[in-house]
A = this chain, B = another copy of it.
Amino acid sequence: MSDDNYTKVLLDESEMPTQWYNIVPDLPEPPPPALHPGTHEPAGPEDFAPLFPMALIMQEVSQDRYIDIPGEVLDVFRLWRPSPLFRARRLEKLLDTPAKIFYKYEGVSPAGSHKPNTAVPQAYYNHMEGITKLTTETGAGQWGSSLAFATAQFGMECEVWQVAASYRAKPHRKTMMETWGATVHPSPSEVTEFGRSLLADNPDHPGSLGIAISEAVAEAVADPSVRYALGSVLNHVLMHQTIIGEEALIQLAKVGETPDVLVGCTGGGSNFGGLSFPFLREKMAGNMNPTIRCVEPAACPSLTKGEYRYDFGDTAGMTPLMKMHTLGHDFVPDEIHAGGLRYHGMAPLVSHIYELGLVEAISIPQIECFESAIKFARTEGIVPAPEPTHAIAAAIREALHAKETGEETVILTALCGHGHFDMAAYESYFGGSMVNYDLSDATLAAAMETVPVVNG
């Protein structure tokens, strides 16, 4: 940098990482395998073949530390990557803290979040195996938008089942998906047998993420030229997101900084894994020693309150069983605005790493998150999506702690998306109708009763 007073640390396109980092071979213990839902035996590639292309299944179980990012994927990434790393100088000043706050901003992608980092390679690998259409579900709309954008880049079709309540409340996300060429159905839909059966009972059915997954999966397995795509939780998805952390490592090195604390919001785990895994590699190698901390909503605290057990990834119980921190697969979180964090489980890889004691976890209630987001927006300009308000709240806690101790703590976080499609959440905050949900022990105990008992 030619200027010590920098606000952003940018990388040239030629400095963009060309490999993803797979943390699995570096872990002191291998993560437990997924199990077949019927036999409870370890699931093999053939169990995933109707849903995913073989290239992604091989990445899911890969023992290679690094996997090359295909050139055609890098070409699409150049539309917004490398993403900027910001030093939050104006927020630091407001907080009057000696801490240095850095945030990696992923809202520069066309869809407005980190999700295209995996949507693009998923579309690419399917395209290379002759798949002409992808199906998926979407709740808040971030993932559906990202896959719609990604499939457009490879001339593929995209069919999205959007949870009916969200479809009706957020028509703009649907229109955005259509702008990129996707077909969007409210779920439950008339398209699938399952959807029709639910609509027959209740024509105004609000839908759920579990139902939408079931419809998207049913449509994919019915046609050999169609596959399904998932936006978080799985190993290969987290690996695709490691480009975030790899870039941040280069960017911090350019300004001579090393993080003391890294905080990231966790829903399914892909944003957190993407930012933190490359830093965890450096920590395990003894090159730095940051505290690495997951931040989850108090209403959906899978790491801090859930149990580490085998459970289904979906509500309907159709997926393989994964060992993870879970609140129970039919647990329905309260209606917090951070829709992307309302998942009953946690990525098996993040869960495993947490069990190994390599990362910490805290939960933060909704109102503190939005209070922090307002401080952030009024200083740094960007209006954050509800999900990363959790990371911002945690970063502000750290910065205020540094103010007490007088330490020049270097804090790193990821601002994984902007809030342009989430202004209703801010309206609820300003209108005074926002509430703090907290998961009660009784609710949790009831939800955990449905988790299957698996030996071992």
Interface residues of A (CB under 8 A from B): 1-3, 5-8, 10, 12-14, 75, 78-80, 86, 90, 108-110, 112, 149, 152-153, 171-172, 175-176, 178-181, 374, 377-383, 420-421, 423-424, 426-427, 430
Contacts and interface: CB of A to CB of B under 8 A. Distances in A.
Nearest to A6: B13
Contacts of A90: 79, 153
A78 B7 contact: yes
A20 B80 CA distance: 28
Contact of A175 (B6, B112, B152, B430): B430
A110 B178 CA distance: 25
24 contacts: A1-B14, A7-B78, A7-B79, A8-B78, A79-B86, A79-B90, A79-B380, A108-B108, A109-B381, A152-B378, A152-B379, A153-B381, A171-B423, A172-B424, A175-B424, A176-B426, A178-B426, A179-B374, A179-B378, A179-B383, A179-B423, A180-B377, A180-B378, A420-B421
A38 B79 CA distance: 53
A3 B78 CA distance: 12
A383 B180 CA distance: 9
A383 B79 CA distance: 13
Contacts of A2: 12, 14
A140 to B, nearest CB: 14
B179 A381 contact: no
A-B complex: 5 closest residue pairs judged by Cβ atoms: A110-B381, A7-B78, A172-B423, A420-B420, A2-B14
A179 to B, nearest CB: 5
Given A1-B12, A175-B426, A178-B426, 17 more contacts: A2-B12, A3-B14, A8-B78, A79-B381, A79-B382, A109-B381, A110-B382, A110-B383, A152-B378, A171-B423, A172-B423, A172-B427, A175-B427, A179-B383, A180-B377, A180-B378, A181-B378
Contacts of A178: 426, 430
A178 B420 CA distance: 14
A427 B379 CA distance: 33
Contacts of A172: 420, 423-424, 427
